[in-house]
Structures are given as structure tokens and as C-alpha cells.
Structure 1
Amino acid sequence: MMTVVTQVTLKTGCEPEWDAAMRERLAAARGQRGWVGGQLLIPLDGVNKRAVVGTWESRADWEAWHEDERFLESRKRMDGLQEGRSEMVWYEVVTEGRGAGSSSVGPPQ
């Protein structure tokens, strides 16, 4: 299994739109071959920064997802909301632990 962590900085005021697009992207990824799971994270010290954690059975599965039309459409929408380039780091998953149930967190209240 492989996990990729992508960090982005968003244009001020674009955070809600970008977050909504990322939620849609994560929902669409659920149907993709090799998708294990993902998270959208906001660091406590940067309300306009995001980290996206995605776990896939293989990097090839992730690459195939990046050729999917739904991914490409979301990329066009999201790229215009970001400042600069995103940074990605790949990790091989050595072990994984999760709670008894899985949950999905909605927009911040």
C-alpha cells in the first residue's frame, strides 16, 4: 500500500470552494480501483493551507485515477484556487490501524 501526502496553499477566501471540491473528489475516488481512503486536513497554524492524505493499493492505481475525467475536471476547478505549486511526498505503508468504525467529517461548523 502507498500513501501520498499533498500540501497546498489556497488563495485567501477560496478555502470553502476548494474544500467542497476536494470532498467531491474524495467521494468520487471511492469507486476507483485500488482506493483505500483519504483525509483532508487543515493545519492549526494555517487556515489557508491544506494537506490531503490519500492511501492506495499501488501508485499505479493512483496514476490511473489521475487520468479519470472526474479527477481532471476537479483539477481544473481547484488549480485556480491555489497559490503556487503543491508539494507531494510518497510513503510506503508499513502498518495501519483504524478504529472499530469509520466516519466522515463534514464542513467545519
Structure 2
Amino acid sequence: MFQLLQPLVHAIQPLLVPLCFLSAWFIVVLVGWSAWTATRDTVARGRQMHRIPCANCQFFTRDYHLKCTVRPSTALTEEAIGCPDYEPVTSAYTSKPQTYSRMQ
């Protein structure tokens, strides 16, 4: 069986080295291209997600049960981009007047 393949192998042998060389570089280029497109798509998705304004809205509750008191179904999704009810938080701390009474 191997004696029948020997002339075929000797005929193909001069082409094997360039063929393997080109196929190896083709695989390297494919891996590089795949890494580049994955990075590009990840950056684009990150930019899109950073456009969601919910975390800076005064109606955002930071509770996973009720994320937003006005539009709970669209909170923290891409549908929230351009939300007509968005109101930015004016202060991180709300100050309430405190009254202290001393008992004398």
C-alpha cells in the first residue's frame, strides 16, 4: 500500500513546504483578525452601554426589585437611552432639616 503512495508523496513533496508555510500564516492572520473584530465589537458595545443614563437618574432606586419608579421595564436596558423621564440627580446626599430638642 505504501509503495503505491510513494510516487505520489515524492511528486507532492516540493509543494508541501510552501503549502504548510502559507496555511500556517493564514491561520495566524485569521486568529489576529478574529481578535481584532472581537475587541472592536466589545468597545462598541461598551460605548453603547455607557450611554444608558439610569445610574445618574433621580428615579433610579438601586434595588433589583424595582430599578426605576417611573419606567421599571426599561431601566438599565438600551431602551432607556433617551428616556423622556430622565432627571439627573442634583445631589448625592439629600439633606433634611434636623431638629434637635434638648430636654431640660
- Specify if TM > 0.5: no
Give the TM-score range, shorter chain.
under 0.3
Relative contact order higher in (CA < 8 Å, ≥ 6 apart): 1
How does the TM-score come out when normalised to structure 1?
A: 0.23
Kindly indicate which of the two structures has a greater share of residues assigned to helix: 2
How does the TM-score come out when normalised to structure 2?
A: 0.24
